[in-house]
Structure 1
Amino acid sequence: MSVLMSAVAEASVPVVVQQHLDNADVLRSVRSVLVRAPHVGLDRLRRLDDRLAASLDGLSIAGDLGRRMCLSALETPGRGTVFAATVGAIETRDPALLERLLSLAQALPDTLAGLVSAFGWVPAASLRGITRALLESQHAFRRDIGLAACAMHHAEPGEALDAAIADPAQAAQAMLTAGKLGRVDLLGECLHGLSHQDARLRFVSARSSLLLGDRQASVRTLAGLALEVGPYQAAAATLVLKVLDGTQADALLRGLARNVDSVRMLTRGMGVAGDPRHVPWLIDRMDDPALARLAGESFSMITGLDLAAADLELKPPQDLALGPRDDPHDDDVAMDEDDALPWPDTAKIGDWWQANAPRFPAGGNFFGGGPVSPGRCLAVLKSAGQRRRIAAAEYLSLMSPGTPLFNTAAPAWRQQWLLSQMEA
């Protein structure tokens, strides 16, 4: 086998190897969007992951040529090239290349996501020894990478996590890891971060505390962040609304309604709150082009209805300017976060709701067509789009504190295997 591999490596054509590298770069970038997309299910993610794996295999089979081309690409590094090079460095046990990539990611934070995602992509067995060395490093940056790897693979960091959570330089990553791993023994340490002046640390502390079972201080902190327009509003609101009772959820939604800048968050929040009383309001918003698709998604979050499959969608409006445009002088280059969501047919949806509303009693917390339950969450993880799958993973941990957070960004084949184990 080694002779055959060597022969293949020697015969590798540079243009073909370059194509593998380019494909890996592009597919990794596409994947970073799809793992958060509302319309992408596990089957579609699997198809992309198979293509990405084939490109990485091509680089691996190319041997030294593949390594040299990865090194050349690092002269102008991007997240995709750092991802591909890191996967190769881990799988070939290349300490010199891995050292270079760690130093590069620390110096160029924009590439860090590529490096970290590579640690999540490779099998846990490939990280034996590598993760332990990172956790024992003298540098907090590398210890953080080790903790992130443990969180993605549900591997126990042991005393390294206990030490990190008390280290100001590592507190944020340590608390994030504790929450993802279900380390309820570290709940007290996570709660200490709620009074921190740094908003990111407060958010991470509150998120992990909530996942680990706290329903008091963390709820207050997340509710406060949910009412502040800023980088943590959406994540805070969509998490805390999953544990609030009807009265508490209504109070938070009223707070969002008082701020005109929070109307999108209000529309999303009604879907997360899951109370069918809000469905008529959502249907009314479907006539507003700026909110229509988001309102349709929230309607689907409650009812479980696939608007496209049920023929309850319309063609996109003509000449509607939403999201980035082709004008090079236009500074608005942000992606449309509603991209790929169906445009709801308000009339048909109104008729459907009138016929089906009795199935959804007011005051309930509905998710994907029925009350929240472990079985429903498992079904959503198997068949729904990524946004709803992320919500299902959070529900599973919230319903049973100490349950590790299901990694909906893991390679699709690993997720499918884990789901088969959970179902069994």
Structure 2
Amino acid sequence: MRTSSKAEGERPVRIATEVVRQHAELVAFLWAQRDSWSAEDPPDAKVIAQIDERLETNLDGLRIAGTATWPFLIAQHENFPEKGELFAFAWMALELADGGKVAQAVEFGSLTADDAKGLVGALAWHKPAAIGPFVREWIGSQDAFTRFLGVSSCIVHNVDPGATLARLVKDNDSRVRAAALRLAGQLRRFDLGRDVQSALEHGDERVRLWASWALVELGSGDLTRQELRKIATAAGPHAMVAMRALVKAGPHKDIRAWMGGLMRTLPTAPLAVRGIGMLGDRSVLAWLIERMREPHVAVAACTAFLELYPEAREETKLFTVDPMELGSAFAKHFEDDVVRLALPDKVKTWLAQTATTRS
């Protein structure tokens, strides 16, 4: 990346600008790709690890270029202010501990509609000691968004802010309060159990969700099963978090009975099929293969299968993105939707072959 015909002490180091530009663009692209893959249900850990290797290589390029990266990072964020570009800008600001640029990144993040994913991602990528001075300032801020950043930083690094968390789980801002409740559960802050329970009465679903989730982590899932079921069956953005919390809360006998009720109606059947995969019981595979033959639950059946058999990801011939491969009923049901479906006959054969190999 650097070119110089003499020692660096004799003349300024020249930067290969096009190479720096490419590093900046690739950092933004790769992190956005990583974030999208991480949101898959279930995520593919192998693919994410491969992206991380490429991302770190390009971050090294930015490290070497140092402050010479700013024209490219600024320009790309101005031209395309999305999560990947915010990650690249914020990561470099934190890397250089540039207070002015960090403040600018915070301002950019406050304007996003996705809880500043790129900025939180940049905070996650740095070690706690490096971002500590900023986080300590943010978490006690009068500004709700910067408090949210402070709590989010503690979440991604599993850091306990101590007595401050007792105040944050009662924060007037719903986003801050939800994040603080999540952190309380993650850290097993049993001392905050009463405050967590009181949040179940809050008007914001996110607050109720993370209060419910935290109570499960604190061993009090019996207090919140009704709320979690309500959130899960609403099929909103928090459905899968609620479903996993329900499965963890148990008991599995009750969860199975509840899922059986969900199977009786078309709108809730996919949730039940997806939930089966979360139970971790491979004895349901014969039943699950039959669900792969039913268009309205086929996507959920494929996802549940992948959770139970993550090694099947390597067998690309088990899946299709063309519903017509499964017949006209599938083509009609999905129309132009882009979906991944399991091919039940091939899955059945693969399972038989795998069982033979193991024996």
TM superposition score normalised by structure 1 = 0.71
CA distance in 2 between counterparts of 1:7 and 1:85 reads 31
- Report the more deviating stretch, 220-229 or 154-163: 220-229
1:272 to 256, 278, 282: 278
Give deviations 1:106-150, integer Å, cap 9, x for gaps.
133347111111100112221131211112222121111011101
Alpha-carbon distance in 2 for matches of 1:291, 1:81:
37
Which residue identity lines up with residue 79 of structure 1 in the other structure? K
Q: What displacement does 1:319 show?
A: 4.6
- Does residue 151 in structure 1 map to residue 147 in structure 2? no
| Aligned twin of 1:53 | 56
Map of 2:348 onto structure 1: 349
Aligned residue for 1:187? Answer: 193
Query: Is residue 287–residue 346 contact of structure 1 (8 Å, CA) maintained in 2?
Result: no
CA drift of 1:19 comes to 0.7
User: More deviation in 149-158 or 246-255?
Assistant: 246-255
The structure showing larger relative contact order (alpha-carbon pairs under 8 Å, at least 6 residues apart) is 1
2:23 to 20, 25, 35: 20
Name 1:80's counterpart in structure 2. 84
The residue type equivalent to 1:264 in the other structure is P
**1:162 to 1:225, Cα distance in 2 relative to 1, 3 A:** same
Deviation at 1:12, TM superposition (A): 1.2
2:85 paired with 1:94: no
Please report how far the alpha carbon of residue 282 of structure 1 lies from its aligned counterpart in structure 2 after TM superposition.
1.4
* Structure 1 residue 104 corresponds to structure 2 residue 108: yes
Give yes or no for contact 1:164–1:171 (8 Å, CA) kept in 2. yes
Deviations 1:153-195 (A, max 9, x none): 1112112211111222232121122122222221221111111
1:126 aligns with one of 124, 127, 130: 130
Where does 1:361-380 land on structure 2 (aligned, <5 Å)?
Answer: none
1:198: Cα distance to partner?
1.8
**Is the CA contact 2:318–2:346 (under 8 Å) kept in the aligned structure 1?**
no
Count of residue pairs brought into register by the alignment: 342
- Between the aligned partners of 1:45 and 1:293, the Cα distance in structure 2 is 22
Identity of aligned residues (%): 25
Cα offsets for 1:371-410 (capped at 9, x unmatched): xxxxxxxxxxxxxxxxxxxxxxxxxxxxxxxxxxxxxxxx
What's the offset of the Cα at 1:293?
5.1
Deviates more, 1:59-68 or 1:95-104: 59-68
Pairing 1:11–2:17 present: no
Structure 2 gap segments, 5+ residues each:
1-5, 326-330
Find 1:307's aligned residue among 312, 318, 332. 312
Q: Which moved more, 1:57-66 or 1:92-101?
A: 57-66
Query: Residue in 1 aligned with 2:212?
Result: 206
> Would you say the 8 A contact 2:42–2:303 is kept in 1?
no
2:223 aligns to what?
217
| One of 33, 36, 42 as aligned partner of 1:33 | 36
Post-superposition CA distance 1:340-363 (Å, at most 9, x none) = xx723437627957997xxxxxxx
In structure 1, C-alpha distance between the alignment counterparts of 2:9 and 2:246, rounded to whole Å: 55
Q: Which has the larger displacement, 347-356 or 268-277?
A: 347-356
Structure 1: unaligned runs, 5 residues or longer: 326-331, 357-424
Q: Does 1:70 align with 2:73?
A: yes
Matched residues in 2 for 1:353 and 1:49: separation?
A: 35
SS in 1 for 2:267: helix
Structure 2 counterpart SS, 1:242: helix
CA distance in 2, matches of 1:324, 1:34: 24
The letter for the 1-side match of 2:271 is M
Q: Report what 1:359 is aligned to.
A: none
Distance 1:212 1:260, change over 3 A: same
Instruction: Answer 1 or 2: which has greater helix percent.
Output: 2
Distance 1:160 1:198, change over 3 A: same
CA distance in 2, matches of 1:16, 1:75: 20
Match of residue 269 from structure 2? 263
Aligned to 2:328: none
User: Aligned partners of 1:349, 1:122: CA distance in 2, in Å?
Assistant: 44
Cα shift at 1:56? 1.9
Q: Deviations over 1:20-61 (max 9, x none)?
A: 111011101110122234576544433211211221221222
Deviation of the 1:95 alpha carbon = 0.4
Mean Cα deviation higher: 60-69 or 119-128:
60-69
Q: Cα RMSD over matched residues?
A: 3.3
- What secondary structure, in the 3-state scheme, does the structure 2 residue paired with 1:109 have? coil
Shift of 1:7: 8.8
What SS class does the counterpart of residue 29 from structure 1 fall into? helix
Inter-partner Cα distance in structure 2 for 1:127 and 1:271: 38
- Once the two structures are TM-superposed, the CA of residue 285 in structure 1 deviates from its matched residue by 1.2
